Amino acid sequence: MHRRPPAATLCLYLLLAGGALVMLLPLGWMVLTSLKTYPEILRHPPAWLPADPQWENYRTVWDGFAYYRFFLNSCFVSVMVIAGTLLTCCPAAYAFAYCEVRHKEFWFALLLSTLMLPAQVTVIPLFKAFAALGWVDTYLPLIVPAWLGGNVFGIFLLRQFFRTIPKSFIEAARMDGASEWTILWRLIVPMSLPAVLTVVVFTFLWSWNDLFNPLIYLQSEELVTLPVGLLYFIARAEQLTGGSIGQHPWHLVMTLATVMVLPVIALFVFVQRRFIEGVAAGGVKG
Amino acid sequence: MLSRILEFLAWLAVLLLAALGFWWAGHQRHQPPADGRTEITWFVPITPLRDLYEADVAEFERRNPRIKVRVIWVPGSEYNSKLKILAAAGQLPDLFFTGDVWMSYLLPFKRDVTDFMLRDAEEIGLDDYFPEISAAMQLHGRYYILTEYMNLSLLYFNRRLFAEAGVPEPEDWWTWDDYVRAGQALTRPGGPGRPGVWGSSRVEGWWGEWLIYVRQAGGTVFTPDGRRCVLDSPEAIAGLQFYYDKSEKHGISAPAGFEPLNGFVNERVAMILGGHVNYWLNYNQMPGLDWDVQLLPEGPVTRKGGELAMAGYSVSKTSPHPEEAWALAKFLTRPEAIARIVARGSLSVRRSVAEAQMRDARPEDRPRNLAAAYRQFQYGEHIPRHSHYIEIMLQIVQPEVDRMLLGEFGPEEAGRRAAAAVNAFLATFDTRDP
Amino acid sequence: MNTRRADRLCFWLFAGPAMAGFAAFSLWPMLYSLWLGFCQYEVIAPPRFIGLQNYIYLFLHDPSFWASVRVTLVFTVVQVPLALLAALGFALLLHQPVKARSFWRAVYFLPSILPQAAYAVIFGYIFQGDGGLLNQLLALFGIEGLAWTMSATWALPVLIMMSLWAFGYPMVIFLAGLQAVPRELFEAAHIDGAGAWARFRHITLPLISPVIFFNLVMGVIGALKVFDLAYAFSITQNIPPGGPARATLFYGLNLYQQAFGFFHMGLASAMAWLLFIFIMVVTAINFRISRRWVHYEN
């Protein structure tokens, strides 16, 4: 491995740190706001720093909000969605990358078209269908589509990555008598680990931050996920601060948003480490 | 061989876990009560009044042992979308909260409750409601809503800023000119490190304020039959002109986009024309904010023209239990319930509660001039009963008003363009009363 | 022949669930909405066939349709290249062997994971006219600020800037693509004396071209459909959807307003199909051009 000159290294770190400052600006503002009082957030022009950091805001959020309940609901939905996505998107991507069948491109284009139609117009027919199945107020409308290849983005992404793997690898494995299923899970998926983990992270984020679907399909408060819970909480926080519609208690909302983002950051850092290690391991084998 | 068995077992475990997950995902489906009680569902936006509603439901169930209420809380910002999606899918709850803004639009989903209303008139105390409110519950002489809540446009003012500037407080005989003069006397530029004060605010991006001026200048949005938009009439344009001039000519409110955020609670805006009773709670929370209300100033043609809007409960047309839903609606709007809502800071839809509110007011309560607030009733105007009213005002008219404020053209051109666009819309969509 | 039958079997076994899901959750709602596009459907009454009237209204009379087309095209043309460049640039930087690499990556990914509402509130504070953070900053240099979000000229650039903060998604995909480039190729090139630019141009770029292509296609689709950000911004800032004088009325937002704000489901379906066809054409062109510059291994 070659060495960078020290000046270049310095430049690199300066660039990274400068960019990081800009990137962290919204997050910093969020955390600072979470430590303010209600009159402070109404004050104008706003002050950067809270006069007296209100760590109690975190306690207020914890006490006034069934965080753990919504958190577990979100976890359950996310895990089921990720599992379904992996189990159906990987084989589908493999099929579109390696199986030679007629009209494959046509089928693929058809599948991709799902990404192109704005979701708003399919809401009502889908809602009617799920209502007819008696699935309203259950998690099934949120989960079942993921188990049927609902994440077309994932299929497309994985196909792009699978196609960068030389076909000779697969031919060799087929020669050894490995079944397609084994080739997929034992060879292709480990070799494309960064892509698979990317799909996991993105799927997690979408499902974790999804507001619209839980909002319309779930009715019982004890079933809702965190983003919907956040909206429930805004009203609750208004009661705590005595505020009302139009003048949201953003300090408490930001407190909750901070708490909501933490698990996502943790997952991302964890996956990133696997990401780097996984590739290093794959590189040795390759 | 061993590894193959292990692999098989691993996939089997995945399958089993998935099956378990699906069972869990579906098993929590809501079941009707097993004890034979009639269950009704009630759709409520979550507001700071939630604890009151929860207490009310418990009390209602205690008094009506044969009815079970399933309350479905919906985040306020998403309430209308969710309600409409459920309506479209034929899944409406038995009882839902809605306002007169949506009266025409949601009419096909509402049960005509005239029979209930007349039968129970005495129990409800129908004549206890202010006549303007009772009128707003009806469409073409039929009742569709039982009212709980209302909003009324008022003139809000900051007493401290008035005293500091040596300006006499607003009176009930004020006209636009008095309002402008006071606003100019109250406006002072900001110095270094000290933000300025504006005599008044100008609400942008919404029809709330400019529509008052259009009406007080003798204009309207629609012709009485609702088939044509007349925002290009000289009267309507005079109203838009005043809205425009507030900042550009009289200098009593901030230029477009510079409206101070939360200006009234930060004591950087001395008067608000219009406002919302929802904010009373906020105002009373700010330490040292000494505020009061007065009748809206009189326009060149009339004093009438402030908003008078209300909200309450409608029974769904498809409800299998209209009697039970109606019983709950009556319970939620009984005088004690209204009194508790009003005690949190707002105006009452019932006369008896309003009288008690004025009688029991303490000197430190704000606003002090409740009498003026209730007098404003007679000058309020209902929202036009046009099923696409909100769409027309927000999507078609408002952008032209925005462009006027941004200086692209004057009020005359804004009124002309708005009317032309609305009339093109009306020609395509049949949007008269259903 | 044998392998072809095996291929067919494998294809339908592997892609079958996805195709079934497509038929169940996408295909028929799509066809249903195609039909609704020719109907007046205000939800309150059953759909009524009206032929091409929705399309005629959109093209000839609707004051918001062309405004939203313009906003969306400007957004796509400006935002997609900038976001891709930022994502690729920082992915290349973060692919370098630096200390605490996963920390840096997390930092750059962070803005992308904030809940939209929180994000919009924060940027509201920055771009406010009266006492906003940006204007405070400009005042230090003696520049008088603007009411950024209420200006018909600046509201769209501000939203574009906001969206650029969140280039984390394409960046992570680029990183995954860069990880997949075999290191040996670089070593060999380095020994051959190829400079940094030459290595990037002749090794990295061709090898990650499928990933660039993916990000480009998804970026264009996402930009043409963009909705969340503008919606969250209007809700949290109490600005009506579409901003001042329709300056930020994105096509997706306009469609949402028609569908759920005012329940012109028929009109919204017509709008959806126009967008659908447009995206399809753009994507097809993208795929066609991609044959010239995207390099696959197989």
pLDDT in tens, A225-272: 888 888 777 766 766 655 443 456 778 888 888 888 888 888 888 887
**Residues of C with CB below 8 A from B206's CB?**
240
pLDDT over 70 (residue C291): yes
Domains in chain C (CATH in brackets) are 1-36 (no CATH), 52-293 (1.10.3720.10)
- Which of A63-67, A181-185, B281-285: highest mean pLDDT? A181-185
Q: How confident is the model at residue B390 (pLDDT cuts 50, 70, 90)?
A: confident
Q: pLDDT tens across A129-176, in order?
A: 888 888 888 999 999 999 998 889 899 989 988 888 888 888 888 888
Q: Please name the member of A122, A148, A257 whose beta carbon is closest to the beta carbon of C17.
A: A148
Instruction: Indicate which of B7, B20, B22 best probes the interface with A, i.e. most A CBs within 10 Å of its own CB.
Output: B22
Does A136 fall in a domain?
Answer: yes
Q: How confident is the model at residue A280 (pLDDT cuts 50, 70, 90)?
A: very low
Better-scored residue on pLDDT, B330 or A106: B330
Residue A231 contacts B, CB cutoff 8 Å: yes
Does A67 fall in a domain?
Answer: yes
pLDDT over 50 (residue A282): no
In CATH terms, the superfamily for domain B154-304 is Periplasmic binding protein-like II (3.40.190.10)
Task: Tell me the β-bridge partners of B143.
Answer: B138
Cα-atom radius of gyration of chain A, to the nearest Å?
Answer: 24
What pLDDT does residue B33 have? Answer: 81
One-letter amino acid identity for B292?
D
Query: CB–CB of B97/B46 below 8 Å?
Result: no
Subunit contact A150:C25, Cβ cutoff 8 A: yes
Using CA of residue C188, residue C194, residue C197, residue C202, what is the dihedral sign?
negative
pLDDT over 80 (residue C3): no
Residue B301 contacts A, CB cutoff 8 Å: no
Calculate mean pLDDT across residues B269-278: 90
Query: CB–CB of C258/C267 below 8 Å?
Result: yes
Backbone angles phi, psi at B145, to 5 degrees: -130, 145
Q: How confident is the model at residue B254 (pLDDT cuts 50, 70, 90)?
A: confident
Question: Which architecture, in CATH terms, is B38-151+309-380?
Answer: 3-Layer(aba) Sandwich (3.40)
Query: CB–CB of B187/B173 below 8 Å?
Result: no
- Which of A246-250, C79-83, C124-128: highest mean pLDDT? C79-83
**Residues of C with CB below 8 A from A45's CB?**
130-132, 136
Q: Distance (Å, rounded) from C-alpha B13 to C-alpha B432? A: 61
Q: pLDDT tens across B203-235, in order?
A: 888 888 999 999 999 999 998 888 899 999 999
Report the predicted TM-score, pTM, of the whole model to 2 decimal places.
0.85
Q: Distance (Å, rounded) from C-alpha C107 to C-alpha C117? A: 20
Q: Please name the member of C21, C104, C131 whose beta carbon is closest to the beta carbon of A149.
A: C21
Q: How far apart, in Å, are the Cα atoms of A175 and each of A57, A168, A171, C9, C94?
A: 63, 10, 6, 18, 39
Look at residue B350 and give its three-state secondary structure. Answer: strand
Does A41 fall in a domain?
Answer: no
What pLDDT does residue A242 have? Answer: 52
What pLDDT does residue A241 have? Answer: 59
CA of B91: which chain A residue's CA is closest? Answer: A131
**Residues of C with CB below 8 A from B429's CB?**
264
- Among residues B359, B334, B360, B329, the alpha carbon closest in space to that of B349 is found at B334
Percent of chain A with pLDDT over 70: 87
Q: How confident is the model at residue B348 (pLDDT cuts 50, 70, 90)?
A: very high
On the question of a cis peptide bond just before residue B168, with omega within 30 degrees of 0, the verdict is no
Q: pLDDT tens across B43-74, in order?
A: 888 877 888 899 999 999 999 999 999 999 88
Q: Distance (Å, rounded) from C-alpha A211 to C-alpha A207? A: 9
Q: pLDDT tens across A234-246, in order?
A: 766 766 655 443 4
Subunit contact B85:A124, Cβ cutoff 8 A: yes
Q: How far apart, in Å, are the Cα atoms of B43 and each of A30, A70, B332?
A: 33, 21, 13
| Residue A259: domain span | 62-285
What pLDDT does residue A143 have? Answer: 93
Residue A119 contacts B, CB cutoff 8 Å: no
Q: Which two tokens stand for residue C100?
A: 């605490």
- How many domains is chain A partitioned into structurally? 1
Instruction: Indicate which of A89, A117, A277 best probes the interface with C, i.e. most C CBs within 10 Å of its own CB.
Output: A117
Does A121 fall in a domain?
Answer: yes
A vs C, Cβ pairs < 8 A, gives 274
Calculate mean pLDDT across residues B253-281: 84
Does A2 fall in a domain?
Answer: no
Helical pair A250-285 and A56-64, crossing angle rounded to 10 deg = 90
Q: Which CATH number belongs to the domain containing residue A93 in this structure?
A: 1.10.3720.10
Residue A261 contacts B, CB cutoff 8 Å: no
Please enumerate in sequence order all residues whose Cβ is within 8 A of that of A5, keeping only pairs 6 or more positions apart, or say none: none
**Residues of A with CB below 8 A from B28's CB?**
137-139, 220, 223
Subunit contact B108:C45, Cβ cutoff 8 A: yes
Q: Please name the member of C53, C64, C239 whose beta carbon is closest to the beta carbon of B395.
A: C64
Name the one residue in this structure whose structure tokens are 């769409």.
Answer: B391
Backbone angles phi, psi at C86, to 5 degrees: -60, -45
Q: Distance (Å, rounded) from C-alpha B205 to C-alpha C241? A: 9
Helical pair A152-162 and A193-209, crossing angle rounded to 10 deg = 170
What pLDDT does residue B434 have? Answer: 36
Mean pLDDT for all residues in chain C: 85
CA of B7: which chain A residue's CA is closest? Answer: A182
Better-scored residue on pLDDT, B400 or C99: B400
Please enumerate in sequence order all residues whose Cβ is within 8 A of that of B408, keeping only pairs 6 or more positions apart, or say none: C152, C245
Subunit contact A23:C18, Cβ cutoff 8 A: no
What pLDDT does residue A276 have? Answer: 61
CA of A142: which chain C residue's CA is closest? Answer: C25
CA of B393: which chain C residue's CA is closest? Answer: C240
Distance from CA of B39 to the nearest CA of A (A): 15
Query: CB–CB of B101/B308 below 8 Å?
Result: no
What pLDDT does residue B69 have? Answer: 95
Q: How confident is the model at residue A286 (pLDDT cuts 50, 70, 90)?
A: very low
Cα-atom radius of gyration of chain B, to the nearest Å?
Answer: 26
Instruction: Indicate which of B269, B390, B394, B395 best probes the interface with C, i.e. most C CBs within 10 Å of its own CB.
Output: B395
**Residues of B with CB below 8 A from C240's CB?**
205-206, 394, 398
Subunit contact B399:C45, Cβ cutoff 8 A: no
CA of A106: which chain C residue's CA is closest? Answer: C284
Enumerate chain B positions whose Cβ falls within 8 A of a Cβ in C.
77, 81, 84-85, 87-88, 105-109, 195, 204-206, 254-261, 388, 390-391, 394-396, 398-400, 402-403, 405-406, 408, 421, 424-425, 427-429, 434
Q: pLDDT tens across C149-164, in order?
A: 777 888 899 889 888 8
Calculate mean pLDDT across residues C254-282: 89
Distance from CA of C150 to the nearest CA of B (A): 5
Does A22 fall in a domain?
Answer: no
The Cα angle at residue B196 between residues B193 and B200, in degrees rounded to 5? 160
Are domains B38-151+309-380 and B154-304 of this chain identical in fold? yes
What pLDDT does residue B118 have? Answer: 94
Query: CB–CB of C219/C76 below 8 Å?
Result: no
Please enumerate in sequence order all residues whose Cβ is within 8 A of that of B203, keeping only pairs 6 or more positions apart, or say none: B209, B259, B274
Percent of chain C with pLDDT over 90: 23
**Residues of B with CB below 8 A from A241's CB?**
285
pLDDT over 50 (residue B431): no
Residue ranges of A 164-203 with Cβ closer than 8 A to chain C: 164-167, 180, 184, 192, 194-195, 197-198, 201-202
Better-scored residue on pLDDT, C1 or B103: B103
Interface partners of chain C (CB pairs < 8 Å, 3 or more) are: A, B
Please compute, for residue A255, the number of CA atoms within 13 A of its CA located in the half-sphere on the CB side. 28
One-letter amino acid identity for C159?
L
Q: How confident is the model at residue B339 (pLDDT cuts 50, 70, 90)?
A: very high
Q: Please name the member of B195, B205, B388 whose beta carbon is closest to the beta carbon of C239.
A: B205
CA of B30: which chain A residue's CA is closest? Answer: A137
One-letter amino acid identity for B333?
T
Q: Please name the member of C53, C152, C260 whose beta carbon is closest to the beta carbon of B84.
A: C260
DSSP assignment letter at B167: P
Q: What share of chain A is helix, strand, coil (3-state, %, to 5)?
A: 75, 0, 25
Q: pLDDT tens across A6-49, in order?
A: 888 888 888 889 888 888 888 888 888 889 887 777 666 677 78
Domain regions of chain B by residue span: 38-151+309-380, 154-304
Q: Which two tokens stand for residue C148?
A: 């950024």
